[in-house]
Each structure stands twice: as structure tokens, then as C-alpha cells.
Amino acid sequence: MSDFIRWQNNWALKIPHLDQQHLVLVERINQIAELVTGRSPPTAAQSDVGRQPPGQRHEGRCADVPEHSRLICDHVEELIEETRAHFQDEEALMLRLDYPSYHEHKREHGILLAELVDLARQVRQGTEQMGLQTLTALKHWLIVHIVTSDQAYAEHYHSRGLAPDSVVPGAEGRERSSSPNWTGEEGNASARVSGGH
């Protein structure tokens, strides 16, 4: 696995469900970096990272893209879906917490999602040669967002005295990582995201 982004322990929000989603996004970007730099295509196991294997839902979208770029296209489409789901979960949590910077934070999400959707369109149309420059910009955006905006709501979350394994009240129908626990009791779960590689 590429170490284009090396996960750092101090990026963890100590909200396991969301930390796990961040790790999935990091792994997805690392997979794309691996393809962009011309290293061997991902194994089946690597392709299974995240919610859905590439090539199923988005097969039609990327079908006309040349073979090497098609893999990148598939992974970018998966990144969009994983990012969209993650943002929905974060926004639902912030609403539940009456987080004061909810709208500002949601606006940041909207900008990134729009950029990702536009990037995917360009990859499909062959007008964007996904390069390290694009990926580096994406990497920096993600890391800065996690260590600033996401950490800010995480501090708000923990200041409420909620257990670190409290459920994230995500979008309707989304699978939950644990049972609801909004009692403020101390939990002993730790983030599943481990340290750097």
C-alpha cells in the first residue's frame, strides 16, 4: 500500500466511527496515488477497502475510459461515495450537538464534494490526467480539514462528556458502528485507527 498519506495518531478525533471513515478516505487516496505513479494495480483485497468494490455501481460511468484511467476513475467514484457518506455522518453529528460552526463546516464539505465530482467528470472525459499535483492538493485539503475543522467539532463533542464510542447519528438507513449512548458515561473504546505505517 502506498504511503502517499501516512496516518498520524494525532489526527484521530477519538470518535471511532469517524476516525475509521477518515482512514478509509486516506487508504482510497493512497490507492489512487499508487495507480497514478504507475505502481502495480491494487489487489482484490485492496479494491475491497471501503463500502463497495470498485467496478460495480460505477462500472457504467467509467466504462468508456481507457483501461488504466478506468481503475483511477473507479477509485475516484468510490472516493466520492465514501466522502459523501462521511460528510453526511459528520453533519448529522454536528446537528445533534447543536454545533455552532455547523453551516461553515458543511460549506467546506460542499466545496470539496463539488471539486471531487468535477474531477471525476474530467477523468471520465479524458480532460484531466490525474497527476500527483492534483492528488497532493487533495491530500493537503483532507489533512488540513481533519486537523482544524474536524478537530474543532471533536473538541465540542468531547466537551459534552459523551463516550468516545457513542453512535454517530448518521444519515437514514446508514449502518451504525455501535449502539446509541448519549448518556455521557465514560467508554473504554479507543479509536480503531492506528498509528503511522
* Residues forming the site for Fe ion (CB under 5 A): 90, 150
CB of 127 to Fe ion, least distance (A): 28
Residue sitting closest to Fe ion (CB):
150
Smallest gap from Cβ 13 to Fe ion, in A, equals 8
Q: Give the Cα separation of 136 and 37 in Å (integer).
A: 12
Q: 46 to each of 32, 82, 112, 156, 187, how far by Cα in Å? A: 11, 15, 24, 34, 32
The least CB distance from residue 196 to Fe ion, in Å, is 19
CB closer to Fe ion out of 65 and 112? 112
Q: What residue spans of 9-58 are helical by DSSP H?
A: 16-36, 44-47
61 versus 139: smaller Cβ distance to Fe ion: 139
- Residue whose CB is less far from Fe ion, 71 or 116: 116
Gap between the terminal Cα atoms of the chain: 10
**Which CB sits closer to Fe ion, 34 or 150?**
150
What's the closest the beta carbon of residue 34 comes to Fe ion, in angstroms? 22
Q: Which is nearer to Fe ion, 25 or 36 (CB)?
A: 25
- Alpha-carbon gap, residue 147 to 3, rounded angstroms: 19
Per the CB < 8 A criterion, the answer to whether 178 and 165 are in contact is: yes
Q: How far is the CB of 105 from Fe ion (least distance, A)?
A: 6
Q: Report d(CA 3, CA 29) in Å as an integer.
A: 10
Closest CA to 28 of 79, 87, 97, 85: 79
Buried-exposed string 26-44: b where 16+ CB fall within 10 A, e elsewhere: bbbbbbbbbbbeeeeebee
Q: Judged by CB, which is closer to Fe ion: 2, or 21?
A: 21
Closest distance to Fe ion from the beta carbon of 160 (Å):
18
* Three-class SS state of 15: coil
